[in-house]
Amino acid sequence: MLGDDDPGYPSSENISPQDPTLDQPAHISQRMLRELVDRISYAESLINELRADKDNLRAITLTQSEQIKELETKYASTATKSPELQMPDPPNFFGDRRTLLPFLTKCRLKFLGQPSMFSTELAKVMYAGSRLEGPPFAWFSPLSERLHNPAEPNPDELQSFDAFASALTTLYGDPDLSHTAERSIRMLRQTTSVAVYIAEFEQHRQYLSWNDQALRDQFYFGLKERIKDHMAPLGRPDTLTAMKDVALRFDARLNARHQERQASGANPSTTRASAPASRPPAVQQTVSTPVPSTPNPPPAATPARLNIPAVTADGTVPMELGSRRGWHLTPAEKQRRKELGLCNYCGGPGHRAFNCPKAPPSRSQGQAVMNIDISDPSTIAPSPSPSNLSVVSLDTPPSENSYARE
């Protein structure tokens, strides 16, 4: 084996480059030559593999360098750009004319708040169409189907969101929006706070072409009377903006004063009533006029107490006391007694109310009855003679023209 330890060859460490023996021919065997060639071939293969690995590492390094630069660029762009807002979805539109403008406005706010989601006009139109329900979606559905058909051009209504909003407004919008807004703003009145009144006023104002003075006068006309009263000493402001500021300040002060009054528990009416009088009240002298004495009327006869059973035989209360102090059965109790064949008075079985053994004596015993003969004109006189009156007992059937006098 060829090596530095071979005894026939001096060590390379002891040979100088200027040694003349290096120029002399070397005598080696075929074995040694073959071994030397194998070592050189092996070294060349290792060098080739290392070169391939070096090329691979260089390619990987270049790729990673490009990725690092891309990440740095993306990070720099995201660091300088503010994050997108999480905008809520607008409510579904069902075709109500009053909710069309708020629906379109909320869609535009969604697009502005999240521009990465709606980078194209088609994305905006598809999103707005997905928020339609009922008849509006029935109108949008065939238009969206045409987008999937390459043989047909895209509908004009879906070319952009503005075109979509215009077509939807034509179908479900107010055809005379300015007149509707004018009518609504003239009928508008402040019912709660000034802030709510301003919001409702601005809702209709955006569709009007009035000048500032006309808007200011209309705004003043709809204010509450208490706001106008506090504004009267100062005079009306010259502009609508100044009018709003003054009305807001007065409304805030009045509400604060109202809360202070409630917190202190003071009530103007009770305060005046509880205040001590500064002088004693005047003595009122009353002059009594003599009233002619009249004999005391005889005491009214106390009606006899009815013998009303409190509880029936089956333990239920048979009757209830009405508003006229009369006893009556409830409809449910009447039906129950009718089905069971019970008495409508005492609730007992085997008899009816007209022959109930517990019934009280008849109130008609000894009651007077006045018979009036209509055929005789003298009986209609204001003071009938005693000869035209007759007292009969109620035990006998009364005549056709008999009237009980209680």
Instruction: Please count the other Cβ atoms lying within 10 Å of the Cβ belonging to residue 392.
Output: 15
Same domain? For 134 and 213 the reply is no
Enclosing domain of residue 112: 97-172
pTM: 0.41
Q: Kindly state whether residue 234 falls inside one of the protein's structural domains.
A: yes
pLDDT at residue 393, as a whole number: 41
DSSP code per residue over 226-295: HHHHHHTTT---SSHHHHHHHHHHHHHHHHHHHHHHHHHT--HHHHHHHSPPSSPPPPPP--PPP----P
Hey, what are 199's tokens? 């919001």
Q: Kindly state whether residue 66 falls inside one of the protein's structural domains.
A: no
Q: Kindly state whether residue 323 falls inside one of the protein's structural domains.
A: no
Q: Kindly state whether residue 343 falls inside one of the protein's structural domains.
A: no
The CA-based dihedral angle spanning residues 129, 134, 135, 140, taken in that order and rounded to the nearest 10 degrees: 20
pLDDT at residue 213, as a whole number: 93
Q: Render pLDDT for 272-287 as a digit per residue (tens, 0 to 9).
A: 544 444 444 444 444 4
pLDDT at residue 356, as a whole number: 83
Same domain? For 230 and 210 the reply is yes
Q: Kindly state whether residue 404 falls inside one of the protein's structural domains.
A: no
Same domain? For 153 and 120 the reply is yes
Q: Is 18 exposed, middle or buried (0-12, 13-18, 19+ CB in 10 A)?
A: exposed
- Cα(318)–Cα(100) distance, rounded to whole angstroms? 65
**Domain boundary, last residue among 219, 247, 265:** 265
Q: Kindly state whether residue 49 falls inside one of the protein's structural domains.
A: no
Quote the number of domains for the chain: 2
**Domain boundary, last residue among 172, 188, 211:** 172
pLDDT at residue 189, as a whole number: 95
**Domain boundary, last residue among 123, 157, 172:** 172
Q: Kindly state whether residue 199 falls inside one of the protein's structural domains.
A: yes
Same domain? For 201 and 154 the reply is no
Q: Kindly state whether residue 137 falls inside one of the protein's structural domains.
A: yes
Tell me the CATH number at 190.
1.10.1200
Burial annotation 161-186 (CB, 10 A radius, 16+ → b, else e)? beebbebbbeebeeeeeeeebbeebe
**pLDDT < 50 positions in the chain:** 1-5, 7, 271, 273-291, 294, 301-308, 310, 321, 323, 364-375, 377, 379-406
pLDDT at residue 150, as a whole number: 77
